[in-house]
Amino acid sequence: MDKSEIEFITGGIAKDYRGQIRFVNDFDMSNVKRFYIISNTSTDVIRGWRGHRIETRWFYVLGGSFSIDVVKIDDWDKPSRNLNVETLTLEMSDDRVLRVPPGHATAFRAQLPNSELLVFADTLLEDAKNDDYTWATDYFTTSDD
């Protein structure tokens, strides 16, 4: 696997009479330093664009569904507005983790009310403050534009 590429880490679900267990056993969390859970106020809210030169982030949907736009940044001071934006969908039923490597920016939107997104990061908050780049939600052109 090329560590510079976006990837999905596949998991699964085990069910029996007691209920179910969702898992992603191939997600190696040894580099994770922190996590947070995001729930947007509505499906109209777009969070992003936010990018990181050195931080890797992993996304896992706890409930509902999210569309996640990802773009590889070409110039951190003034990125091109017409970079290729890849739109991915991540749903609770997918049982997979989306890995976004350093050098990318993301924007995402809940597709269903009350959706929750769990985000893991491999840098401490103190370090992340120096690796946080933001642009307006309409900065990059997406396929929906």
pLDDT tens-digit series, residues 69-92: 999 999 999 999 999 999 999 999
Question: Which neighbouring-strand residues pair with 15?
Answer: 20
Mean pLDDT throughout 19-24?
Answer: 96
Domains of the chain: 7-134 (2.60.120.10)
Residue showing tokens 């990125």:
79
Looking at residue 3, its pLDDT comes to 67
CA–CA separation, 51 and 45 (whole Å): 18
Instruction: Band the pLDDT of 64: cuts 50, 70, 90.
Output: very high
CA–CA separation, 86 and 99 (whole Å): 13
106-139 burial, b for 16+ CB within 10 Å, e for fewer? bbbbbeeeebbbebbbbbeeeebeeeeeebeeee
Looking at residue 145, its pLDDT comes to 47
Kindly report the pTM of this predicted structure: 0.91
Q: Is the pLDDT of residue 35 over 50?
A: yes
Looking at residue 117, its pLDDT comes to 98
